[in-house]
Structure 1
Amino acid sequence: MSGEHRTIELPSTLATPHHTVPAHPHGLTTMEGPDPVLLGELTLPAERASVPRARAFGRAVLGSAGAAHARDDAEVLISELVTGAVRHAAGTGTLLCLRLLRGGSRLRIEVHDRGAALPHARPVDLMEETGRGWFLVAALADRHGTDLTAAGKTVWCEIGARPHDERHPH
């Protein structure tokens, strides 16, 4: 690719996140299926050093929750959601909250922040170092979206994470 820029247009099914009517008492979209169980929650400062901490937290939580098979995809998704929140943080000293929830065979990753700017899909330039986060979330996640809250917003995504089965540990 001798210096040429390549751009990927998002398919229409990926370009629009799945916004739904809030059904959660705090204005958050709820997971489909059984009531979700909180696997872990981590509050982080909105700074670059929080991204690897968030990934390590996700690996540890998913490993102990019997969802190690979903760790690779979840790690990418956690990284992209936290990076986006850090990059667009409302100001110095801002905190983020990463939450991992499980509802049946679904894993939900949420990042809460105080910013009001919503993530949006844009053409992806393969030669640029940034700008692929929401594209990756849309490509990897089964569902994704953003919910505005009284304190800011929640950016979330869901992937399949089959229930833990002791007979088949891998």
Structure 2
Amino acid sequence: MNKQDQQQFFREIIKQHKGIMFKVARAYCSNEQDRQDLMQEMMIQIWRAVHKYNDQYKISTWLYRISLNVAISFYRKNSSRAKLYTSLNGQLADLPPDDAPGNEWQLNLLEQFISELKDMDKILVILYLEDKSHAEIAEIIGISVSNVGTKIGRIKDKLKARFSQLKY
């Protein structure tokens, strides 16, 4: 693939699949500036890898792998900075605002609870919520299909337990 073809392929990938990167960034970064930085880093890494793309794999699988690896690295680099901030927001999020619609509040809580999961669990939830099959998830993250099912079941139980701890 020549340089011009690579540029065109890159543009098409970003245009058609930017939602993948946005969902991953949203799961790993709670503030907008960090999300933008992570999205930029994902695009850089995708650009660097575009010439290595093997069409034997689905583009979405390839993008998830790159995006998730970049997000994990980014998260680890920035986690020490994040620890400096007190999680007052996390404590306040357990109480619904007076004017918050129920579903929006619950979705915000789900997002918060997912952000508190371990890296691998976050990845699994993101892919599960994307309606990826267990086989696709297994291919993307490199574990067995049965392991995917087991882990997703455990994560669901953790999230249910978190919701059940809330006092309305």
Q: TM-score, normalised by structure 2?
A: 0.30
Higher relative contact order (CA 8 A, sep 6+): 1
Query: Of Structure 1 and Structure 2, which has the larger fraction of its residues in strand?
Result: 1
Bigger Rg, which one? 2
Q: TM-score, normalised by structure 1?
A: 0.30
